[in-house]
Chain A
Amino acid sequence: MSQQIVELYAPERLARMEGRRRGLKRLLWGLALAALALCLVLTLGANTHNLYRRMLACICVSVGAAWIIIYFGIYGVRDVGRELDHARHLQDEPRQRVEGRVTLLKLKVRIRNSITLRKVRVETADGPVSLNLHADKTQQLKKAGPWLGLYTVHGYIVAYEVIDHADS
C-alpha cells in the first residue's frame, strides 16, 4: 500500500527559493552601491598625506565587495536561478511512475555548469532503471527509505511516495 506523494518541487518551496534569490540579488546590488559610495568618499577626501592609504583602502573595499558579489552571485543567484528554471520546466512535463528498491549511487553529474545531480538506481520488476536526482534532495530521499514509488520527468525525479514492502 502506498502513502502520500511527496513533491520535491512544491510550488510554495519554489516560491520561497525565488524569494530568497531575489532578496540576495538586491542585497548584492546594495553591497555594490555601498562599496562604490565608500570608495567615492575615500577618494574625494584624499590628499598628499593620505594618498596611498586611501588608495589601499579603496582597493581593499572594492576587491572585497567584488569577491563577495562574485561568490554569492554565482552560487546564490545564478545557480539557484538555473535550478529554479530546471525545476519549473520539470513541472510542466508529463510524469512517469517507477517503483522499486532505490539505491543512491555515489556518481554525481553537473548540467548547465551549475546543477549537480546524483545518480539513482531503481530495481524495478522490469529490471534496473537509472534516474537523476538534484543533489540537495539526496537526504530527503535517503530518509524516505529504499522502497519508493518515483515520479519522473525525462529521467529526473520530481516526486516520490513511500511504498510498503515485505523487506522495508
Chain B
Amino acid sequence: MRILKNIWSQLHRFVFWGLLISLFWFWIYINFVGDTSREKKLLFYVDAYELHWRDLSLALEDAGLPDGIEMIQVRSFDYDIFGSAINGDVYVMKESILKATLEESPEKLAPLSVPDGAECWSWEGQIYGLRVFDPATQRGAAEQYIRYAPEGAPEPEAYYLCLDAQGPHSADGAAWQTARAFLTMEENEP
C-alpha cells in the first residue's frame, strides 16, 4: 500500500522519464541502427496495390546483399519521387507510369540488357523495363510479398521492373544484382 502511494506521488517522474527514454531509443533505432548512408543501402521502390515491404526487404537481404551494401530498403513507389532529388535504385512500376516517365524524362531510367525471350518494354530501340506482372495470366514476381492488382479488377495493368540511371548503385551492379534476386525469388510464404 505504501509502495503504491509512493509510486502515485511520483507518477509524473515515471511517466516523463518513461516517455523520454522510449523516444530516445526510437530515435536511435530509426535514424542510426535501422538506417545507413545512401552509399551502403539500396532503395527498392514498388508501386502495387498491396506491399509487404518489410517481408520483401528481409527476403531480398536473405537472398544475398551485393558487395558494399548493408541493407535493402523497400518503399512504396510514388511518381513524385521522379521530380525530387531522391534517386531510387530499382523500381517496380505500372506500364502507364513507365511510359509517361520515358516520354517526359528518359534519362531517369537505365537501359537494360536482358536475355532473349524476356517480356520487355522497349523505347527507341532500348529495353527499359522487364515485365514482372502479366495481367493476362494474373501472375507476377514475388507474389507472396506484392499484390499487384485487387481481386477481380477488370483491367489490371502490367508492371515492369526498371533501374534508375542516376542512382548510386546503377553503375556498380548492385541494383541489377538485387533486381535479379527479385525476379528469381521463390514463392515461399512470407
Contacts and interface: CB of A to CB of B under 8 A. Distances in A.
Is B truly associated with A?
A: yes
A62 B21 contact: yes
A39 to B, nearest CB: 8
Given A43-B33, A48-B57, A66-B18, A59 B25 contact: yes
Contacts of A58: 25, 29
A117 to B, nearest CB: 17
A54 B30 CA distance: 12
A63 B33 contact: no
Contacts of A71: 6-7, 10
A43 B71 CA distance: 16
Interface residues on B, range: 10 to 19
Range for the number of chain A residues in contact with chain B: 10 to 19
Contacts of B7: 71
A82 B18 CA distance: 26
A66 B21 CA distance: 9
B79 interface: no
Contacts of A70: 10, 13-14, 17
A51 B33 contact: yes
A75 interface: yes
B42 to A, nearest CB: 12
A34 interface: no
Contacts of A59: 21-22, 25-26
- SS class, residues of chain A in contact with chain B: helix
Interface string B121-156: 000000000000000000000000000000000000
Interface string A117-147: 0000000000000000000000000000000
Contacts of A39: 25
The 3 closest A-B pairs by CB, nearest first: A55-B29, A58-B25, A66-B17
Interface of B: 6-7, 10, 13-14, 17-18, 21-22, 25-26, 28-29, 33-34, 57-58, 61, 71
27 contacts: A39-B25, A43-B28, A43-B29, A46-B33, A48-B34, A48-B57, A48-B58, A48-B71, A51-B33, A54-B33, A55-B25, A55-B26, A55-B29, A58-B25, A59-B25, A59-B26, A63-B17, A63-B18, A63-B21, A63-B22, A66-B17, A66-B18, A67-B14, A67-B17, A70-B10, A71-B7, A75-B6
Interface of A: 39, 43, 46, 48-49, 51, 54-55, 58-59, 62-63, 66-67, 70-71, 74-75
